[in-house]
């Protein structure tokens, strides 16, 4: 009577190793998909709260609940007529000071070239220093108002969908107050959920192969 044949699949340890790899991969994907750490949440927020950086009155509101948005899209703007008038006046003053500074610099260069008296050159140098200080101050004001004007425009920080809008046109708001909520279009969590399911199935498949191959 012939002896019974004994079948033994080669490399069965490979299957248990693969099962172990997919088991830990599944645990990692579950953690990031359903129990994200603060570090992950910071990088991939589940919701984004959008707020103005300055106080004001809402002038225009360009989105409503459910609207899709793209990064840098203008969501809302504050009233800024008075600020625009101030900005125009400051820019005009800066232009005038810049012209005066250029003239002072030209006069100094001419005096030095023509060998004017030391007192005259010293006087022109002082004038140039003073106009430079005024010019620097005017430029600072221009930049300050430009920054304030930029803060009156609220832009979307990312692609996504508007989930809530807490303001209306003509309503007052304060700096830092959440006015719009956005659900960011981030596939990170969907990918990890899919990876968790795939890894779970792969774990049982390779574990089953290992058992059957014994």
CATH architecture of 46-78+154-185: Beta Barrel (2.40)
Lowest average pLDDT, out of 19-23, 41-45, 56-60, 199-203, goes to: 41-45
Residue tagged 């508007």 (tokens): 162
pLDDT > 70? residue 11: no
pLDDT surpasses 90 at 62: yes
Helix 12-34 with 188-212: angle, nearest 10 deg: 160
Contact 33, 210 (CB under 8 A): no
Query: Sign (positive/negative) of CA torsion 136, 138, 143, 147?
Result: positive
- Strand bridging mode 68-69 / 74-78: unpaired
The answer, as to whether pTM is greater than 0.75, is no
Residue 88, pLDDT > 50, answer yes
Q: How confident is the model at residue 96 (pLDDT cuts 50, 70, 90)?
A: very high
Rounded-to-integer distance, Cα 210 and Cα 80, Å: 71
Instruction: Give whichever of 29-33, 42-46, 198-202 has the largest mean pLDDT.
Output: 198-202
Could you tell me the residue ranges of all domains in the chain? 7-44+186-214, 46-78+154-185, 80-151
């Amino acid at each position: 009577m012939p002896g019974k044949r004994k079948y033994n699949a080669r490399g069965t340890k490979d299957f248990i190793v693969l099962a172990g790899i997919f088991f830990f991969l599944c645990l990692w994907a579950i953690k990031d998909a359903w129990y994200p750490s603060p570090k992950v949440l910071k990088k991939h927020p589940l919701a984004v709260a959008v707020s103005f950086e300055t106080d004001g009155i809402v002038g225009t509101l360009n989105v409503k609940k459910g609207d899709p948005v793209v990064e840098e899209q203008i969501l809302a703007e504050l009233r800024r007529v008075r600020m625009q008038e101030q900005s125009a006046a400051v820019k005009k003053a800066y232009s005038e000071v810049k012209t005066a500074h250029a003239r002072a610099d030209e006069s100094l260069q001419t005096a030095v070239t023509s060998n004017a008296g030391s007192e005259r050159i010293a006087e022109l140098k002082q004038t140039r220093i003073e106009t430079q200080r005024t010019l620097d101050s005017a430029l600072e004001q221009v930049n300050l108002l430009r920054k304030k004007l930029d803060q009156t425009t609220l832009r979307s920080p990312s692609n996504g969908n508007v989930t809530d809008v807490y303001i209306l046109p003509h309503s007052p708001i304060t700096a830092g107050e959440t006015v719009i909520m956005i659900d960011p279009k981030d596939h990170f969590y969907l990918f990890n959920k899919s990876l968790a399911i795939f890894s779970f199935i792969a774990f049982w498949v390779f574990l089953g192969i290992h058992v059957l191959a014994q």
